[in-house]
Amino acid sequence: MKEKTEMLVKECSDYLNQCNDLNDLNRIKIKYLGKNGLITALLKNLRDLPSEQRPFAGKTVNDAREKIQTLLDEKEGELKKSESGILLEKEWIDVTLPGKNTTRGSLHPITKIIDEIISVFSGLGFEYKEGPEIETDYYCFQALNIPKDHPARDMQDTFYINENIVLRSHTSPVQVRNMEISKPPIRIVNPGRVYRADDDATHSPMFHQIEGLCIDEHISLGDLKGVLEEFAKNIFSKDTKIRFRPSYFPFTEPSVEVDVSCSICKGKGCKICKGTGWIEILGAGIVNPAVLEQSNIDSKKYSGFAFGCGIERIAMIKYGIDDMRILFDNDLRFLRQYK
Ligand code: DAH
């Protein structure tokens, strides 16, 4: 028995010398000490021995089992130590290395200008509104005092989807939608995309407008002028002046075109303002009483002003851009300048 157990211990120790991972170690453990292992079998066989031999044989097998257990434990300790060493080696990081730069996106100049304008008007008590881009002929024209076949429709090259549905050619229909659902006082601004069949350096088939509407008692052209002056000073520069020129829109009476003093040449005359010192930025006026009545607002009690402004035009003036199309090319070299 002694020889046999010594042999098993020796054999196990040889295996362990060659073993270099924990899975292997487990297999060796099972081979000797598992339920059907070699040492376990010897222990089971003890009961077949004559009783006077049993104590000695029992001690021999138990000693062998302890030796093997010790060998296994030692090896396990050794392997665990070296595995964590390998892990440390593999997962080593140099925390002093500089980080990887991820490039950040930024807002498009058109979005930035819209945000700036909204912020000026919200400071003046105007609420932000939106409206649909696919609009009915009624909201886009009829409710704004432009009946079907009226020559004023030629002022805008509208995309018709069918006889009664259009891609909105201006943001003015949002005025009507809001007058229908709210009572004065009304103060709203609504920016958004508009569409016209037009395409050259200063026109794009899709562009942006922002519309403003203010309705209350005793609203006059003076109020319009004060509000637009505040707008121009905030968007261009503190010394910007504005001027009104008479104009015509079916939905306002009187109607005006609004110019700002050229911020490039400070009014002296340059290429941007075509030598005049002034740049046209928007159309506006006193809301036509017919438009108020159409939306059930009492035009004897209330009056209002409205304006509509092209955002691309503001961007071109503010940033000195001479071709509108560059705003829609999405060339990153251009866009990054406005970060
Ligand atoms: N809707 C006009 C256009 O697109 C601009 C405009 C002019 C809007 C006068 C207004 C306004 O609200 O009162 O040409």
Scanning the chain, the segments in alpha helix (DSSP H) are 2-18, 22-33, 38-45, 54-90, 109-123, 137-140, 173-181, 221-235, 289-294, 311-319, 332-335
Closest CA relative to residue 109, chosen from 323, 314, 322: 314
Query: Which residue's CA lies nearest to atom 5 of ligand 1?
Result: 308
Question: Can you give the pLDDT at residue 274?
Answer: 87
CATH of 109-338 among 3.30.930.10, 3.40.50.10860, 3.40.30.10, 3.40.50.2300: 3.30.930.10
Q: Where are the chain's structural domains? A: 2-90, 109-338
Per residue in 82-138, pLDDT (tens digit) is 888 888 888 888 889 888 888 888 999 999 999 999 999 999 999 999 999 999 999
Best residue among 139, 153, 170 to mutate for probing ligand 1's pocket (most ligand atoms within 8 Å of CB) is 170
Per residue in 279-328, pLDDT (tens digit) is 999 999 999 999 999 999 999 999 999 999 999 999 988 888 888 899 99
* Two tokens, residue 280: 């046209």
pTM passes above 0.75: no
**Measured from the CA of 285, which atom of ligand 1 is nearest?**
13
The separation between CA 161 and the C-alpha centre of its own chain, rounded to angstroms, equals 31
Question: Can you give the pLDDT at residue 133?
Answer: 98
d(CA 260, CA 268): 13
